[in-house]
């Protein structure tokens, strides 16, 4: 595939952090785990970033640029089937903040790539919004995460409505509202609305523990992924995730089970 046959995702976010603090968040295992997925990092050119998306979904990437605290680049070599590349650039801003710029390249321009491109674009926007919240509210704290996914029939707005109803959440909350889950089968969760966008609700929680959670309907077409992402912080974060995981897995399986195998 030539450069003319490729497209890329470009996203910028401003974070409440110095470049050094932002680097710790995007280029170390504990930092990445706090806003993305559980990760380990061999911190050098040629080293590996191993990402655990839960279940059987794991990905290994190769570091090609290591320039702290300014630039990190890694790729998924084409021999592994995808040939995608990822670059993070950090720039200091006035007032002690930093601009984090992501470029995710290597997508083809044909329709065959549309679903993957759209899914990666919406996914990065979700996770980079979480990066902003992590560095604003819980910088440097130990984190543990819980990610549970299900499947619903499309279109996406209809799947989102069913997801919100199943969780017992209000249909149209406003930023700043305090909300909580409801229903006998839904695990207890409460917090303040931080963000509402693109069939995604972000809460800063105090129940069951301090953290951030996302409810999201992702993808397009006739099959939509329903997602629950939770990031808890502090010395008890691992214990909280261990306690909460079975309940959320059971809830997702009951309301949004994967399609039966043919």
Q: 192 or 121: which carries more pLDDT confidence?
A: 192
Domains 3-137 and 143-255 belong to one CATH topology: yes
Per CATH, the number for 3-137 is 3.30.530.20
**pLDDT for the residue numbered 262:** 52
pTM to 2 decimal places? 0.89
pLDDT tens track for 115-139: 888 888 988 998 999 999 999 999 9
Cα–Cα distance measured from residue 64 to residue 122, given in angstroms and rounded to the nearest whole number: 25
pLDDT tens track for 203-230: 999 999 999 999 999 887 788 999 999 9
Is 125 buried (19+), middle (13-18) or exposed (0-12) by CB count in 10 A? Answer: middle
**pLDDT for the residue numbered 8:** 96
| Best CA proximity match to 108, nearest among 196, 14, 7 | 7
What is the three-class DSSP state of 174? Answer: coil
CB atoms within 10 A of CB 261: 4
Instruction: Tell me the sheet residues that pair with 87.
Output: 73, 103
* CATH architecture for residues 143-255: 2-Layer Sandwich (3.30)
Residue 160 pLDDT > 70, yes or no?
A: yes
CB atoms within 10 A of CB 238: 13
pLDDT tens track for 80-126: 557 899 999 999 999 999 999 999 999 989 888 888 888 889 889 98
Residue spans per domain, the chain: 3-137, 143-255
């Amino acid at each position: 595939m030539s450069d003319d046959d490729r497209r890329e995702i470009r996203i910028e976010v401003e974070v409440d952090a110095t470049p050094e603090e932002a680097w710790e968040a995007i280029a170390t295992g504990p930092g990445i785990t706090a806003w993305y997925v559980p990760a380990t990092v061999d911190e050098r050119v040629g080293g590996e970033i191993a990402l655990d998306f839960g279940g059987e979904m794991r990905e290994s990437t190769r570091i090609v640029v290591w320039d702290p605290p300014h630039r990190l680049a890694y790729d998924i070599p084409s021999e592994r089937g995808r040939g995608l590349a990822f670059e993070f650039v950090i720039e200091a801003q006035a007032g002690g903040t930093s601009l984090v710029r992501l470029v995710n390249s290597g997508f083809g321009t044909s329709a065959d790539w549309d679903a993957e491109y759209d899914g990666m674009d919406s996914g990065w926007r979700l996770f980079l919004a979480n990066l902003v919240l992590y560095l604003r509210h819980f910088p440097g704290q130990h984190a543990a995460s819980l990610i549970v996914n299900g499947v619903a029939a499309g279109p996406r707005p209809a799947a989102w409505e069913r997801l919100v109803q199943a969780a017992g959440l209000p249909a149209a909350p406003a930023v700043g509202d305090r909300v909580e889950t409801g229903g006998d089968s839904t695990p207890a969760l409460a917090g303040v609305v931080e963000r509402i966008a693109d069939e995604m609700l972000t809460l800063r929680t105090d129940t069951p523990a301090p953290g951030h959670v996302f409810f999201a309907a992702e993808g397009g077409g006739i099959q939509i992924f329903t997602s629950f992402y939770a990031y808890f912080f502090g010395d008890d974060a691992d214990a909280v995730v261990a306690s909460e995981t079975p309940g959320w897995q059971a809830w997702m399986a009951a309301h949004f089970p994967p399609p039966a195998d043919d």
